């Protein structure tokens, strides 16, 4: 039955466009609206029929084709991204960057390659993808966001990237001619300025190209972080003519001076039992340099590889306690300078969070995330860039006796660390036998059953594991820079599946597989990345840690009720996901991903995991829904 508007000859769209709806809502006798007063007098003009048609996707292409630009500005922007080595641009499509999106998919030979457009179903997921990629590769990919509303959707993920010191390059489209003025602003970047490292809003095409280069440089300069460039829609469509691409100048990373390099070299060479603490370096190259340094001086090494990316290989022969804990010289590389065990300098990047102002169209100095508290022996420099200076000094001053001494230490460390690893693993396995055959499935068994299936592969554990008890830290060997991507910067929920898709983007062309131990509550925030993984055929194995609730909050409420003497039998209210249970295998299938489960019988776990690993090795994402113990 037609509605009343159609019966009167006025369609709903015409009703909205005519302004009659505003009159009706404002009221007035006999159809006459009262004269507006004050702010109401500042009426926004009603959109034209063409604007409405465009907004709902019903715009008709012109019958006479006129080429808008022979050399569109957005083609040059894409070329800048290509020259920077940006592999991917994630976006949820929007009109404010239509010029740039069209160039990404059509410009170049071949088109849609370096960068490739990745379809995200939510802006927050797009930025999370960029985080997973950057943590895997040590360099950024790009994200496109739509005006005010796209940036607000993405804000949680940007906040986490800032606190996680993760390099991400974001491009925000601004369309000041769009009739929905709520989706634009004079200073769009102000929405996220408190938690972006650097932003700019260029007014010319030439400046836009320079700002894209600068955004990349600021993102990768430690402390790394997300950067943002607002680009007007008209700049993207502007005729570039014979405008030349600006020459790219990579950033200069701060390094220690030669005197400090010499002092560190002497300390490591002359120590009886030297040690190096390695935190999170910037790139895989930094990890290679740290290995070279440790092997050169025969030091034992403490690594963060089981807790985050870009650290020293966990099972390197020199990684472990070594022959004894009486270390007489300890060098820190991007680790906590206030660590009491440090008996030497710590080379790391320090920064404050003092913001500087910016006006519309300006560029500001970086706002940097606060790192750990400073130590008295901090050397404020980039460790990765400084290691070659230390190595050069060691090679210059070391004696034959010191070379022999280093070699003998390495042999002793190798034996001691092998024995320590064996004892650690035996104790860990003994402790994890409890509940092995129980149902729901033990998380320790989940990690243990998975390890033999991936141990000979190039794998990446993409998800934070605090909620699944971190069993991988002792059961698995984290020997590559991307073996574990660690915690999300601010601990915000909804991160895992997006970041895992981003890690799988990095893995797709590198014969690598990605493992995501996915919390059920987290997946429900932004499950659309399941479709992105299926659509782009990403090598991602998602294993549901399905404890059917927000168990941390269950524990908090149980404690609160207990100390108040009220009992804990009602603490499932508002904290559990039941009545009905969520079927994650069917959810994944709805997004086009192969899946199975739910699995509650532990004897069925290993075969399901084996099928999942086989699928992702073949280039197909897979989800296994496992009903698990709470922690």
Torsion over CA: 323, 327, 333, 335 (sign): positive
Per-residue confidence (pLDDT) for residue 48, from 0 to 100? 73
Closest to 410 (Cα-Cα) out of 269, 296, 261, 524: 296
The alpha carbon of residue 112 and the mean position of all alpha carbons in its chain are separated, in whole angstroms, by 22
Predicted model pTM: 0.88
pLDDT in tens, 190-234: 999 999 999 999 999 999 999 999 999 999 999 899 999 999 999
pLDDT in tens, 560-583: 989 999 988 888 888 888 899 999
Q: What are phi and psi for residue 544, nearest 5 degrees?
A: -70, 125
Q: Give the bridge partners for 90, in sequence order.
A: 118, 143
Per-residue confidence (pLDDT) for residue 8, from 0 to 100? 42
Report whether CATH 3.40.50.970 matches the domain 73-237.
Answer: yes
Per-residue confidence (pLDDT) for residue 9, from 0 to 100? 43
Q: Give the bridge partners for 116, in sequence order.
A: 88
Per-residue confidence (pLDDT) for residue 351, from 0 to 100? 57
H or E segment at 51? helix 49-55
The CA distances from residue 271 to 328, 358, 367, 383, in Å, are 6, 50, 39, 21
Q: Domain spans of the chain?
A: 4-55, 73-237, 258-422, 432-627
SS3 347: strand
Below-50 pLDDT ranges, the chain: 1-36, 38-41, 352-361
In a 10 Å sphere around its CB, with 0-12 CB exposed, 13-18 middle and 19+ buried, how is residue 568 labelled? middle
Q: What are phi and psi for residue 227, nearest 5 degrees?
A: -125, 160
CATH topology of domain 432-627: Rossmann fold (3.40.50)
Alpha-helical (H) ranges within 9-48 are: 12-18, 20-26
CATH class of the 258-422 domain in this structure? alpha beta
Per-residue confidence (pLDDT) for residue 28, from 0 to 100? 39
Which DSSP symbol is given to 597?
A: E
Are the C-beta atoms of residues 170 and 142 closer than 8 Å to each other?
yes
The CA distances from residue 287 to 170, 304, 599, in Å, are 27, 11, 39
Alpha-helical (H) ranges within 190-349 are: 205-220, 233-237, 258-270, 284-297
Rounded Cα distance, 124 and 153, in Å:
6
Over the chain, what is the mean pLDDT? 89
In a 10 Å sphere around its CB, with 0-12 CB exposed, 13-18 middle and 19+ buried, how is residue 618 labelled? exposed
Per-residue confidence (pLDDT) for residue 17, from 0 to 100? 41
């Amino acid at each position: 039955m037609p509605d009343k508007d159609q019966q009167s000859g006025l369609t709903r769209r015409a009703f909205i466009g005519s302004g009659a709806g505003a009159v009706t809502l404002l009221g007035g006798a006999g159809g006459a609206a009262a004269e507006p007063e004050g702010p109401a007098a500042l009426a926004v003009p009603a959109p034209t029929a063409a604007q409405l048609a465009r907004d709902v996707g019903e715009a008709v292409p012109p019958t006479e084709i006129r080429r808008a630009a022979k050399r569109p500005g957005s083609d040059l922007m894409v070329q800048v991204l290509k020259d920077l080595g940006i592999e991917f641009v994630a976006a949820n499509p929007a009109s404010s960057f239509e010029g740039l999106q069209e160039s990404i998919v059509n410009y170049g030979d071949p088109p849609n390659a370096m960068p490739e457009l990745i379809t995200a179903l939510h802006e927050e997921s797009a930025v999370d993808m960029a985080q997973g990629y950057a943590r895997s590769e040590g360099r950024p990919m790009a994200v496109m966001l739509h005006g005010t509303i796209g940036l607000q959707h993405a804000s949680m993920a940007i906040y986490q990237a800032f606190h996680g010191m993760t390099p991400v390059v974001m491009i925000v489209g601004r369309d000041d001619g769009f009739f929905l003025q709520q989706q634009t602003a004079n200073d769009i970047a102000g929405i996220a300025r408190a938690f972006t490292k650097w932003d700019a809003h260029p007014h010319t095409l030439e400046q836009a190209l320079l700002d894209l280069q600068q955004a990349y440089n600021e993102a990768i300069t430690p402390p790394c972080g997300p950067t943002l460039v607002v680009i007007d829609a008209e700049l993207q469509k502007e005729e570039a003519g014979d405008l030349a691409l600006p020459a790219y100048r990579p950033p200069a990373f701060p390094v220690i001076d030669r005197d400090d390099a010499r002092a560190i070299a002497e300390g490591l060479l002359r120590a009886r039992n030297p040690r190096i603490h390695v935190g999170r370096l910037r790139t895989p190259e930094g990890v290679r340099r740290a290995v070279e340094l440790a092997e050169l001086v025969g030091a034992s090494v403490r690594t963060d590889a089981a807790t985050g990316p870009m650290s020293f290989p966990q099972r390197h022969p020199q990684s472990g306690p070594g022959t004894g804990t009486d270390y007489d010289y300890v060098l820190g590389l991007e680790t906590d300078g206030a660590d009491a065990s440090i008996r030497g300098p710590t080379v790391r990047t320090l920064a404050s969070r003092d913001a500087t102002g910016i006006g519309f169209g300006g560029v500001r100095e970086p706002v940097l995330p606060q790192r750990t508290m400073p130590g008295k022996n901090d050397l404020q420099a980039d460790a990765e860039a400084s290691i070659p200076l230390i190595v050069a000094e060691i090679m210059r001053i070391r004696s034959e006796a010191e070379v022999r001494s280093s070699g003998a230490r390495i042999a002793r460390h190798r034996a001691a660390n092998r024995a320590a690893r064996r004892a650690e693993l035996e104790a860990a396995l003994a402790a994890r036998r409890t509940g092995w055959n129980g149902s729901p499935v033990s998380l320790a068994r989940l990690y243990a059953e998975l390890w033999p299936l991936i141990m000979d592969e190039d794998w990446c554990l993409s998800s934070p594991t605090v909620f699944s008890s971190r069993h991988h830290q002792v059961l698995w060997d984290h020997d590559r820079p991307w073996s574990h991507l660690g915690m999300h910067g601010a601990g915000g929920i909804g991160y895992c599946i997006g970041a895992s898709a981003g890690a799988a983007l990095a893995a797709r062309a590198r014969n690598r597989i990605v493992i995501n131990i996915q919390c059920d509550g987290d997946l429900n925030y932004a499950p659309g990345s399941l479709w992105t993984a299926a659509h782009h055929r990403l090598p991602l194995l998602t294993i549901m840690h399905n404890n059917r609730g927000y168990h941390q909050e269950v524990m908090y409420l149980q404690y609160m009720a207990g100390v108040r003497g009220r009992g804990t039998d009602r603490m499932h209210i508002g904290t559990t996901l039941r009545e009905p249970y969520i079927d994650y295998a069917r959810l994944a299938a709805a997004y086009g991903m192969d899946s199975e489960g739910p699995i509650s019988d532990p004897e069925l776990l290993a075969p399901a995991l084996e099928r999942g690993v086989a699928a992702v090795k073949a280039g197909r994402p897979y989800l296994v829904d496992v009903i698990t113990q709470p922690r």
